[in-house]
Structure 1
Amino acid sequence: MPTSLLKESNVDVLIIGAGPAGVMACNALAKAGINVKIVDQRPEKVAAGQADGVQPRTMEVLQSYGLAERFLKEANQLHMVAFYNPSQEGGIELADRITDVTSATRYPFEATLHQGAIESLFLDSMKSMGIEVSRPFTPASIQVSENEEELKDTSGFPVRVVLRSLAPSEGQADTEIVNAKFVIGADGAHSWVRKAFNITMEGEQSDYIWGVVDFTPDTDFPDIRNRCAIHSDNGSCMIIPREGDKVRLYIQLGDNSAVDATSGRVDKTKIGPHQLLEVARKSLFPYTIKTPETFEWWTIYIIGQRVASQYSIRDRIFIAGDACHTHSPKAGQGMNASMNDTHNLAWKLALVVRGLADMSLLQTYEFERRKYAQDLIAFDRQFAKLFSGKPRTELNQDGVSHEEFLKAFQTFGGFTSGVGIHYAESPITNSTHQAFAKDLIIGKRLPPQALIRAADARPVEIQDYLPSDCRFKILIFAGNTSSTEQQTKIEKLADSMSSILTLYVHSGNISDIFDIISISSATKKDVRYNSLPALFRSHWSKVLLDDIDVQGKQGGDAYKNFGVDSSGVVVIVRPDGYVGTVAPFDSVKDIKAYFSSFMKVQA
């Protein structure tokens, strides 16, 4: 093929794979103004099935990108979990119903929506910024420079990827070359990118074989619209209500007849949705479920729990999502873990590409997300064993008791909801002054809290002040700003903070990198929002009060709930919504030390 037909381009970030992790990354980077290209081998996006469960923390993340409203309009909500166990009369009986989510979150429920619809949230957002997935493309080769100087230079393009079109237009080359500063491999459990660099997956495969089937049920089962965990003498089953009238059944298969003896892989030619439903019927007895006219989607799989040995190559190529961790879908973590991988990575890449942060910042991606994946695998191994194990009965005293299963379900609630994720100490997570805001846990996401705006007493939610826009949010817990003595302290603080923050911005415009929100403990009757220094009121809406709204229904107790010292505290929230560090007014030098550990001085 003539060389002149070859297309060659330079991009800041090339993303391989347009599943949930890939489109999350692309949307986030595009919003940050990064030149990004995304490719996928599928001719079309997912139409049905695949992942569908979205946890409370992931909904908070969607909200931070402005996507939660549409998601909640389309999704089904799960508020209750029902547990069924073997009955002495045969079959199963209701053992318990409990609240599905007990963690403190503004979205106290799980939600379900098929993967294609969730991907569409991001695809439509990307399209509004002029970015679409290049389909169908697959990588043919990838090379990364071994020159240390080139690797340190964030203005260069040290990664060369050859892409092959699976359906080239007539007269067009079937390959193109992309020179990239960074590459994200979000290309699934059989990741080409991971294999290209011989990254191993560490872990094990279980003997548990499960089937999944999506359809609209006709049944007399009373909890068909609740999430259900069913232990029966025939095996285990999980019911997940879906959007519309659909449900998803996870069905434990009692033998390995669906496994190819030679390869050890499941063989979908050996079993189908009708056989899966027949197994489910036995587990649901004495309740009945009719055969539907059509099945929307189905699959079978063997539970495996593995984590990639590394997440990056020379800080230039990263893997994310299923490419670096695989586990069972029982606790609904797969898509959530994947999207939160690239939510964690995107802001770090954006700051490095823009020349604002040091390359060392990128090392915190693997540090934080690989530890999370290892914790997820440990949890998943225990949870899958409990769920797949035989139930305890009079004849099987060694089985899993309802109390044991329920305790595990509740114990891991913070982890499964996503709100309990706690990143360890690192340059971007510094807990030196944790005592001054003892319930704003450094390394955890900033929890929801109702406040009111000082200027107009309108109730607001603090998480709505944390959009994912690649800016650090600086919360100034200013104390009682109606006090003359406190006002003097605040003005002194503003001078100190201004001298620190201007070090890290190109233009001298602090708000390009840092979004400052002030939270006063003054009352709505006494406060004067414009008495604060200009730095601490970049906009009239950015001054908030720890007071209750005029209806007496929302707000109040923020300082108490957060364990914030009334004398005043500065809280740094990372661009991904996690608390990075805190410092009292007389220790703001430590704020400078925090940023200087990974940000580049621009002055």
Structure 2
Amino acid sequence: MSTKSNVDVLIIGAGPAGLMCAHGLARAGVNVRIVDQRPSMVPAGQADGIQPRTIEVLQSYGLAERLLREGNQMHMAAFYNPGPNGGIERTGRAPDVTASTARYPFEVTLHQGAIESIFLDSLYLMGRAVERPIKPTSIELSQNEAELRDPRAYPVKVHLKRLNAADEQSSTEIVNARFVVGADGAHSWVRKNFGIQMEGEQTEYIWGVIDTVPETNFPDIRNRCVIHSESGSCMVIPREGDKVRLYIQLSDKQVVDSATGRVDKGRVSTDHLLQAVKKIIKPYTIDVREIEWWTIYIIGQRVASKFSIHDRVFIAGDACHTHSPKAGQGMNASMNDTHNLIWKLVHILRGWADISLLKFYEFERRKYAQDLINFDRQFSALFSGKPRTQENQDGVSHERFLETFQTFGGFTSGIGIHYAPSTITDVTYQFLAPGLPIGQRIIPQILIRAPDSRPYELQDLCPADAKFKILIFLGDIADPVQAERAQKFAEALGKPGSFLSKYGRTKPGMVGWKVFDLLTICATRKEVVNYLDVPAFLRPHWTKVFVDDVSIALNAGGRAYSTYGIDRNAGATVVVRPDGYVGIVAPLEDVGVLNTYFAGFMTQRSTASSHS
């Protein structure tokens, strides 16, 4: 007889998307389980590139330090094209990351198993682990509308089979879940069970991948390299230690199984790939002693027709979008899918927000996935196309490739991801902070803590802890006019009808900081500021008051107001969502704007689950 259990969130698939989701939910105290049918994690290969925005996201969960310690950093990209003597020559170098506001202006490369270990070890410290090998065998979703709209209900029933169970009786379990996240890869079982279609197409571009430690005289082996030669194209990705990943273009159509349309790894060998790369990089030479991992693939560019079913079952990562790996977006897009979903689930489960908030997961992430596919279509065509030569004037020129590489720098780095206007992304008062795009992540800035002049990165003051950060740009608090405005603003925020009172309370009579975190940022100089001049309501703790000034060492800070375009006399209030994206900017005096914003998706009910 099958055992039965209840869970708030069941995650199927323990790749990067699933682990990000499990980690974020566990960190927020959610009752979450993650299962995977693989007996162990990825030992080598697979995805390996972490983009600047994803490093910021990992930092917001306290995970970036280990990534930076263990991974390789790519700062420079080199470009090679056909030379006059038949081989290739370097035609230029450029920064690998061109996004001007990147906090981490580089990519980190580390094999997927090591990246997964960062999550797994952190989960272990929270008493959580991936349950494996477990295979889901059936999934049912209630059709009862009232049940689907009740966040306290368990409308999803999943049958699980433990593949290494001692006997048949102990091998099956029925899990009743409030929500299910399918992070189970490109051939997603969850997606197929609900008949969700993948829309898009498969290209004719076939590529091989090798992870190895090369012996070579190629001078840019420790830089990211894009190589176009008359014998094909290649990308060099330096990795941790002495390892290098080589992406090698293949022209052999015979590696594709005509019956399935998929590449057949059995029709090619590592020697075949090595011979191809040797031809591409002439006159340079390359040899390898050992290959750690290799594969071949055909580029497909597809997006799922929907990312959720009744906002109870979600798909994320490769389950809902596939594209070429050379722009380094796969694992990054996957982890950022569930980063977007985590805080929404937490707010629903805690009773802080209406269940309609979950509609914005698909709204935001599917549009991003479509933009990613459109970019990837251009990038893959340029990368896989023949280079321009004297004989082939219609080929891809270095100038054209470099222009595309740099134009899309904000997108590929993740820095330029921009969510469209919606209930949770209100652009009405964008003019109050024109340098801080609403719908994009908060631009990093160094602030000085007022009581002790210690410098802090603003992004570190906005961790992924499920709270909305209310950044109050008060102007110069030493100015009596600004001080009076600040007092009026504090009084308005403290009224029973304000969003802080209506949605911040988690216990009767308490204005709770479990939902909101207030940070006050003054335009006063550190030498003269008195943090006690800030109204008490706007400084819930001494660590919450900052000034926009240069650090004692004179090497950082003092540019937040100017960078964001906020008038030092007018001030503004900036709301940063729990995922680090700017949700709204409002006039300093107008608490009503903020009240209306939060009323659009939050609820006063705070007892929907035991996690309140």
1:558-573 equivalence runs, <5 A: 558-566=560-568, 567-573=570-576
Query: Is residue 187 from structure 1 mapped to residue 184 from structure 2 by the alignment?
Result: yes
1:584-603 equivalence runs, <5 A: 584-602=587-605
Deviations along 1:327-370, one digit per CA (max 9) or x if unpaired, are: 00010000000000000001001100111111110000000000
Structure 2: gaps (5+ residues): 607-612
1:291 is paired with a residue whose SS is strand
Query: Is residue 277 from structure 1 mapped to residue 279 from structure 2 by the alignment?
Result: no
Shift of 1:568: 1.6
Task: Tell me, in whole angstroms, the C-alpha distance in 1 between the residues paired with 2:513 and 2:285.
Answer: 61
Task: Tell me, in whole angstroms, the C-alpha distance in 2 between the residues paired with 1:345 and 1:602.
Answer: 21
Question: Which residue pairs with 2:353 in the alignment?
Answer: 357
2:589 is paired with a residue whose SS is helix
Task: Tell me, in whole angstroms, the C-alpha distance in 2 between the residues paired with 1:550 and 1:344.
Answer: 36
Shift of 1:418: 0.3
Deviations along 1:145-177, one digit per CA (max 9) or x if unpaired, are: 001111111111010000111111357521111
Is the Cα–Cα contact under 8 Å of residues 317 and 335 in structure 2 kept in the other structure? yes
Question: Which residue pairs with 1:147 in the alignment?
Answer: 144
Task: Tell me, in whole angstroms, the C-alpha distance in 2 between the residues paired with 1:568 and 1:382.
Answer: 42
Question: Which residue pairs with 1:318 in the alignment?
Answer: 314
What value does the CA root-mean-square deviation take over the aligned residues?
A: 1.0
Question: Which residue pairs with 2:72 in the alignment?
Answer: 76
Equivalent of residue 447 in structure 1, options 443, 446, 449: 443
Task: Tell me, in whole angstroms, the C-alpha distance in 1 between the residues paired with 2:222 and 2:152.
Answer: 53
Is the Cα–Cα contact under 8 Å of residues 75 and 111 in structure 1 kept in the other structure? yes
Shift of 1:254: 1.3
Deviations along 1:61-85, one digit per CA (max 9) or x if unpaired, are: 0000000001100000000000000
Task: Tell me, in whole angstroms, the C-alpha distance in 2 between the residues paired with 1:425 and 1:171.
Answer: 52
Query: Is residue 409 from structure 1 mapped to residue 411 from structure 2 by the alignment?
Result: no
Aligned length: 598
Task: Tell me, in whole angstroms, the C-alpha distance in 1 between the residues paired with 2:169 and 2:67.
Answer: 38
Task: Tell me, in whole angstroms, the C-alpha distance in 2 between the residues paired with 1:514 and 1:192.
Answer: 38
Is the Cα–Cα contact under 8 Å of residues 471 and 575 in structure 2 kept in the other structure? yes
Query: Is residue 521 from structure 1 mapped to residue 523 from structure 2 by the alignment?
Result: yes
Task: Tell me, in whole angstroms, the C-alpha distance in 2 between the residues paired with 1:586 and 1:540.
Answer: 23
Task: Tell me, in whole angstroms, the C-alpha distance in 1 between the residues paired with 2:265 and 2:560.
Answer: 54
Question: Which residue pairs with 1:215 in the alignment?
Answer: 212
Question: Which residue pairs with 2:91 in the alignment?
Answer: 95
Equivalent of residue 237 in structure 1, options 234, 237, 241: 234
Question: Which residue pairs with 2:372 in the alignment?
Answer: 376
Question: Which residue pairs with 1:47 in the alignment?
Answer: 43
1:123-134 equivalence runs, <5 A: 123-134=120-131
Query: Is residue 502 from structure 1 mapped to residue 501 from structure 2 by the alignment?
Result: yes
Normalised by the length of structure 2, the TM-score is 0.97
Task: Tell me, in whole angstroms, the C-alpha distance in 2 between the residues paired with 1:509 and 1:124.
Answer: 35
Structure 1: gaps (5+ residues): none
Task: Tell me, in whole angstroms, the C-alpha distance in 1 between the residues paired with 2:428 and 2:55.
Answer: 30
Task: Tell me, in whole angstroms, the C-alpha distance in 1 between the residues paired with 2:168 and 2:265.
Answer: 39
User: In the alignment, residue 520 of structure 1 is paired with which amino acid?
Assistant: C
Question: Which residue pairs with 2:609 in the alignment?
Answer: none
Query: Is residue 437 from structure 1 mapped to residue 436 from structure 2 by the alignment?
Result: no
Shift of 1:510: 2.6
1:1-40 equivalence runs, <5 A: 3=1, 6-40=2-36
**Change in CA separation of 1:513 and 1:71 when aligned onto 2, cut-off 3 Å:** same
Question: Which residue pairs with 2:552 in the alignment?
Answer: 550
Task: Tell me, in whole angstroms, the C-alpha distance in 2 between the residues paired with 1:290 and 1:126.
Answer: 40
Deviations along 1:232-279, one digit per CA (max 9) or x if unpaired, are: 001000000000000000000012121112221110111122211111
Task: Tell me, in whole angstroms, the C-alpha distance in 2 between the residues paired with 1:262 and 1:177.
Answer: 37
Task: Tell me, in whole angstroms, the C-alpha distance in 1 between the residues paired with 2:343 and 2:450.
Answer: 30
The more displaced of 487-496 and 236-245 is: 487-496
Task: Tell me, in whole angstroms, the C-alpha distance in 1 between the residues paired with 2:354 and 2:204.
Answer: 45
Deviations along 1:18-76, one digit per CA (max 9) or x if unpaired, are: 00000000000111111000000110011100000000000000000000001100000
Equivalent of residue 109 in structure 1, options 90, 106, 110: 106
Shift of 1:541: 1.7
Shift of 1:595: 0.3
Task: Tell me, in whole angstroms, the C-alpha distance in 2 between the residues paired with 1:272 and 1:477.
Answer: 61
% identity of equivalent residues: 61
User: In the alignment, residue 568 of structure 1 is paired with which amino acid?
Assistant: G
Task: Tell me, in whole angstroms, the C-alpha distance in 2 between the residues paired with 1:486 and 1:359.
Answer: 39
Question: Which residue pairs with 1:201 in the alignment?
Answer: 198
Question: Which residue pairs with 2:539 in the alignment?
Answer: 537
2:255 is paired with a residue whose SS is coil
1:378 is paired with a residue whose SS is helix
1:124 is paired with a residue whose SS is helix
Is the Cα–Cα contact under 8 Å of residues 485 and 589 in structure 2 kept in the other structure? no
Is the Cα–Cα contact under 8 Å of residues 433 and 582 in structure 1 kept in the other structure? yes
Shift of 1:535: 2.4
Is the Cα–Cα contact under 8 Å of residues 212 and 288 in structure 2 kept in the other structure? no
Is the Cα–Cα contact under 8 Å of residues 469 and 578 in structure 2 kept in the other structure? yes
Task: Tell me, in whole angstroms, the C-alpha distance in 1 between the residues paired with 2:166 and 2:491.
Answer: 60
